[in-house]
Structure 1
């Protein structure tokens, strides 16, 4: 198995090393605040 095929365990599930390597090259990430970074659950107060 080469390094690109390796899977890393994250809190969101397994992620390939190739994906992590590509994501590490991102210089700027702009998101809005509608829950994109949440775990998918809806909290109602």
Structure 2
């Protein structure tokens, strides 16, 4: 399949070839408006 330790350069840094291979099977990705799933908590600080 792929060489052990092989990676692919992305804008987020190197990603292993195994992760890329697993991601190819994703059929649906659901995100909220800003692209991050969170509990909606808003923190205000000083």
Q: TM-score range by the shorter chain?
A: 0.5 to 0.7
Q: Normalization by structure 2: what TM-score?
A: 0.63
Q: Normalization by structure 1: what TM-score?
A: 0.64
Q: Which has the larger radius of gyration?
A: 2
Q: Aligned residue for 1:40? A: none
Please identify which structure carries the higher helix content. Answer: 1
**What stretches of structure 1 of length at least 5 have no aligned partner?**
37-45
Q: Pairwise mapping of residues 1-45 of structure 1 onto structure 2 (< 5 A)?
A: 2-36=2-36
**What stretches of structure 2 of length at least 5 have no aligned partner?**
37-46
Q: Which deviations, in whole Å up to 9, do the C-alpha atoms of 1:1-45 show, x marking residues without a partner?
A: x52520111110000000000000000000011253xxxxxxxxx
- RMSD of the alignment, in Å? 1.6
Aligned residues: 35
